Chains A and B, each alone.
Chain A
Amino acid sequence: MILLIPLLIFFWFPIGELLSHVSWAQVEEVILSSSFTKALLQTFWSGGLGALLSVVVATYFAHFFAQAEWRGQRLQRLLLLIPYLIPNFVLASAYVLSWNPATGVLGAHLPLPFALYSLSGLSFVFGVAHVPVAFLLVEDRIKKMDPALFEAARLSGASSFQTLRKIELPLLMPSLVSGFALCFALNISAFAIPAWIGAPERVFTLTYKIYQTLQMGGVEGMTKAPVIALVLFLISLPSFVINGWIQRREQKFVTVGAKPSAKGGSSLLSRRSFVIFQICFWSSQLVFWMLPFAAQILSTLVPPGCLQLEGLACLSEVTLRSYRYVLFELSETQVAIVTSLIYGGVAALTIVLISLTALNVGSTKVQRLRFLDWIFAIPLATPGAVLALAMIVTYSGKYGINLYNTAAIAVVAYILKHTSLCFQPLKNGYLNISPTLFEAGRVFGATKSQVWTQIKLPILRSEIVGGFFLVLIPILGELTMSIFLTSPGFRTIGTVIFDLQDYADHASAGALSVLLMLMILFLNELARWISRGRVGY
């Protein structure tokens, strides 16, 4: 009840309020149009292929990061997570700058094997953007596997493939499916990537249709948009159903020890496979984000269009004008940074508390946790703009609660939208702990709260911190909800970047995005320094 009542009040009621204005004729009009069917299929395929790419790449890399140790590992791990630190629209615009068909600055030297503006291009960028999300889920799972299992398999004569198929994959399956479901939900509800990569060649997704419906549809558009949002949620359902089914067997594979298994895998990984891994790692990271992002940074330092026209020759015209402007001349920047950090922090902290409460409520009952998984995933798959407008319609005082034009409405929207991102890894980590540990604690006379503070929380520490960052990062650059929910005194970094972009000042928008990323990296390092390496990535 403690979770369902706020969710009912702040999510289901507003969405229901918006849907109550929909007529059946409008539903028919939306669903029966040919453009809708096309967008539906394109959403499904791009979201699915992107999620598959994320999970495959993440699993391969996680295998090494979790089982081996080498010098520079932490830096490489941080590099792997960077696509998640870059706001989606910055990543997408970096790809356009690098590989657009006419003047892509990387196109001539390093062509992609497919057209960027296509379904394949869209799926690829989705995949790149969400590799870190899948990686964090899978890596954690592998870390908690006992290396003795693999050694035993090898000693019994099992080949690498047999070990993978019969031991590793079954143990990993819940995390793989969770990762796929989460990435799929993120892909199908994403807006910036389809807008930059899909729209130029008319590869429209449902989120883009929603955007169009809201932008120019007037009052009718506002009521049609939630219909499309509902369909969007329905197509995310199968992945969550399969996820739920897989996780019914979750408790078969648990960690009995309180500590994650020690890394003993380095001996399991041959030198050859490690070298191949390093080659794959650096080449993929170069293509995935290093080169495009380097081009993007360079474009913020030179006059507009110079990079495409003159290539590296325009390095002679390097200027910090954009950075000077956003840092010292644009008064909104400082306000936005402070506001984003305060309210983003409040939202992220609340999400962690909600997730822990959910674990307490769900306890070790998989059915309950699965149900909570579902109810948190629904807002995640709901496009931000629809959620924001539903909140405006409901919480402007019509029903006695007036949050409109206050920071609270945005904080609530952030919490609703991002809880699933924190809950998923926390839940997976929680289910990975054997209930016998809790029982042992109780047998020795520990109270419920002592079991939490002395057993559960210490074991879940990395998931809690990871979850906090996993939600804080997208909130700092959040745009689609913030643009509708801004109020006097409430400006976020995302909305300032949007304003600059809207005013066609792409260099300044890019500069602020780079600063946002540096800020996130700084926060991460600060957290590590304060906690002596126990907190942060």
Chain B
Amino acid sequence: MKMKIGAVAVVLTIVSLGRSEASAKSSLWVYTSIYKEFIRPIEIAFEEENPTVDVQVYQAGSEKLQAKFEAELLAKRPMADVIMSSDPFWTYGLSQRDLIIPLKSGKKYETNYYSMMVMIVHKSVETSKRPKGFSDLTKGEFSGQIQMGSPLESGTTFSTVAYLSRKYGWDYFKALSKNRIGSSGGNSAVIQKVESGEKKIGIVLLENALASIKRGSPIEVIYPEDGSIPIPSMQVVTKTSGQRDVAEKFASFVMTPKVQEMLRKGYMYSVRKEVPPPEGARALTEITKNTTPWTDQNIEEVWKEGQKIKQNFSEIVLE
């Protein structure tokens, strides 16, 4: 009997530990893949303008953000009010699954900034021996020297693979595989491989590259001649949000020049034309001259073909 009481006591203690304290302010949950260092000022600025709102942020890479939100959906208790993810296909999928509501702009989802996928090179590599565009990476002279993330692990790498496979076909990846391209982890892993000199060339997000250069990393950015790859970050308000007005207000706030300027400081490209490019980066129009822009149609196609793209990549590059 004593033991049974003990068992019940253990369970009750844990449950009582779990009770969260009620707050006088209303909580707005924002799930975002914007780095903590840059989302924090946005959170503070919004709270200053809306003192009755307590913004709670869950920050993680788009993949973990996705896993957490899907787990909440399985539990039938989604927490997020606003989602800002750098995986445009998953965000698009949310709209197709009827999990979001239209924003004030009338759109179901909207791009709030752009990340750009570019190439980096170790600074010890002579300028004449550097690739000029993504298409150059299939040349034999770069064999064994290239590193990219894995589309099975990183949302932005998945977007890159989706883009390049549509632009150059899967033969391009067969050639990369023949060139012994390394593929694992996400952007951080790529930077580490290149800055340590283990690999000479990397495919990586510009914002990560610029931040690393500022910290003294021995890498340099190559803006591909065949066009940098835009990774649009999309924001949505969830259908299950208990405070849609505040959530919509937050989404609108992110689009203001003030917040767009904050995002620029995080090395991201603003969607507002009047906001200049990030410090140390070239103008968006310049680096996307040869870029094929994402459209709603091809976002939908990639969303539908997601598994097939990962499978093809696995078979060609990872096995």
Point out residues on A near B: beta carbons under 8 Å. Answer: 1-3, 5-6, 9-10, 18, 21, 34-35, 38, 96-97, 100-103, 195, 199-200, 202, 204, 211-212, 214-216, 218-219, 221-222, 303-306, 308-309, 332, 357, 361, 385, 389, 392-398, 401-409, 411-412, 483-484, 486, 488, 499, 501-507
Contact = CB atoms under 8 A, between A and B. Distances in A.
Interface stretch (B185-193, B224-232, B281-289, B291-299): B185-193
A72 to B, nearest CB: 36
B52 interface: no
Interface string B90-112: 10010000000000000000000
Contact of B90 (A218, A357, A502): A218
A215 B14 contact: no
A389 B71 contact: yes
B77 A211 contact: no
Nearest to A350: B10
A195 B71 contact: no
B153 interface: yes
A103 B197 contact: yes
B contact residues, range: 35 or more
A396 B199 contact: no
A402 B16 CA distance: 10
Given A216-B153, A396-B77, A222 B10 contact: no
B125 interface: no
Interface stretch (B1-9, B131-139, B244-252, B256-264): B1-9
Contact of A304 (B73, B187, B212): B212
A481 B148 CA distance: 26
Closest CB pairs A-B (n = 5): A403-B18, A408-B18, A408-B17, A396-B75, A396-B77
Contacts of B235: none
A216 B310 contact: yes
Nearest to B209: A504
B191 A222 contact: no
B7 A1 contact: yes
Contacts of A101: 198
A407 B68 CA distance: 16
A395 B72 CA distance: 10
A166 to B, nearest CB: 43
Given A35-B319, A402-B18, A503 B66 contact: no
A484 B68 contact: yes
Contact of A215 (B67, B122, B196): B67
A216 B14 contact: no
A183 to B, nearest CB: 25
A49 to B, nearest CB: 22
Contacts of A502: 35, 61, 186, 188
B53 interface: no
16 contacts: A5-B4, A21-B74, A97-B196, A100-B196, A212-B152, A304-B212, A304-B218, A332-B36, A361-B3, A396-B75, A406-B20, A499-B59, A501-B188, A502-B35, A504-B211, A505-B212
B64 A309 contact: no
Contact of B14 (A102, A332, A403): A403
A6 B10 contact: yes
A3 B10 CA distance: 9
Contacts of A2: 3-4, 6-7, 10
A409 B4 contact: no
Contact of B195 (A219, A304, A389): A304
B208 A504 contact: yes
B11 to A, nearest CB: 6
B74 A219 contact: yes
A109 B188 CA distance: 28
B287 to A, nearest CB: 20
B71 A1 contact: no
